[in-house]
């Protein structure tokens, strides 16, 4: 294993450290200091199991709806490091969050009442998708 980082890695790291972009903590949703006028909220599901991710997504969408946030960007990852492909008894399609999270959302009737649209373009090989929420003011 190469212990010395490459020049590209060093350049990327320095760019990251000097960046003024804020990285949202997974726990930040629970903090009362969320900007209520914020139009997009980002969550990252890396490291979550399927049940944990489903619960977190449901909680996040409900809280964002209550706080008038109109778009939730859900980062699932591409599933490139998933071990399910090595096990013939597991389905790689069903165990990967990028496939199962949108399915969970679509099957949750109460969540779907709050959602205007889910942008889960399958032809793009992205590790994230957007959930567009209805305006709470127009919700009945």
Domains and their CATH numbers in the chain:
35-79+87-138 (3.30.1370.110)
pLDDT of residue 90: 44
pLDDT of residue 81: 52
Pairing of strands 115-119, 128-133: antiparallel
pLDDT of residue 98: 79
pLDDT of residue 91: 43
pLDDT of residue 93: 46
Q: What residues have CB less than 8 Å from 137, skipping those under 6 apart?
A: 68
Question: What string of pLDDT tens digits covers the 140 residues of the chain?
Answer: 567 888 888 898 888 888 776 666 655 554 444 444 568 899 999 888 889 999 999 999 999 999 999 999 999 886 555 555 555 444 444 447 878 899 999 999 999 999 999 986 654 557 889 999 998 776 55
Q: What residues have CB less than 8 Å from 139, skipping those under 6 apart?
A: 65, 113, 114
pLDDT of residue 47: 85
């Amino acid at each position: 294993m190469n212990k010395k980082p490459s020049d590209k890695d060093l350049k990327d790291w320095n760019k990251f450290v000097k960046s003024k972009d804020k990285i949202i903590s997974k726990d930040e949703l629970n903090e009362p200091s969320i900007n209520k006028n914020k139009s997009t909220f980002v969550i990252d599901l890396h490291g979550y199991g399927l049940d944990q991710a489903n619960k977190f997504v449901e909680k996040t969408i409900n809280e964002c709806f209550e706080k008038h946030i109109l778009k939730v960007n859900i980062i699932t990852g591409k599933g490139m490091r998933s071990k399910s492909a090595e096990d013939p008894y597991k389905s790689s399609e069903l165990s990967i969050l990028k496939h199962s999270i949108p399915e969970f959302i679509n099957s949750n009737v109460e969540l779907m009442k709050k959602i205007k649209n889910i942008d889960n373009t399958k032809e793009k090989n992205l590790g994230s998708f957007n959930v567009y929420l209805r305006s709470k003011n127009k919700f009945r």
